[in-house]
Amino acid sequence: MSEHVRDRKTISVVICMGSSCFARGNNRNIELLQSFADRPDPAVRVEPRGHLCEGLCRSGPNIVIDGRLHHEVDPVALAGLLNQATGGPAGPGGAA
């Protein structure tokens, strides 16, 4: 493993895969996360994972980024949160 790859920052993203959050926007958020995770940026790696409903459906779509829970996350908000977490432009094409 090269020094450069070992030093890259990893952003943990846990997305609620429960039916309510999924229908309210996490279906679209998953696509954004996947494209972000596939971005060829050696400095940042996004690790998306999913979990089942945790009973917070009313405030969904819910997403946890680096251990912090975010509510009512639409794709625009998610791009901004990822931008914040990575310190760079969100999304595969740059600015969101």
| Residue ranges that bind ligand FES, judged by CB under 6 A | 16, 18-21, 53-57, 60, 62
CB of 56 to ligand FES, least distance (A): 4
In the bound state with ligand FES, the residue whose beta carbon lies nearer, of 62 and 86, is: 62
Distance CA 23, CA 18 (A): 9
CB of 26 to ligand FES, least distance (A): 7
Distance CA 66, CA 16 (A): 14
b/e map 21-30, b = 16+ CB within 10 Å: bbebbbeebb
Give the closest residue to 32 by CA, choosing from 84, 83, 75, 65. Answer: 75
CB of 53 to ligand FES, least distance (A): 3
In the bound state with ligand FES, the residue whose beta carbon lies nearer, of 13 and 16, is: 16
Structure tokens at 62: 């819910």
CB of 93 to ligand FES, least distance (A): 28
Q: Which residue has the closest beta carbon to ligand FES?
A: 18
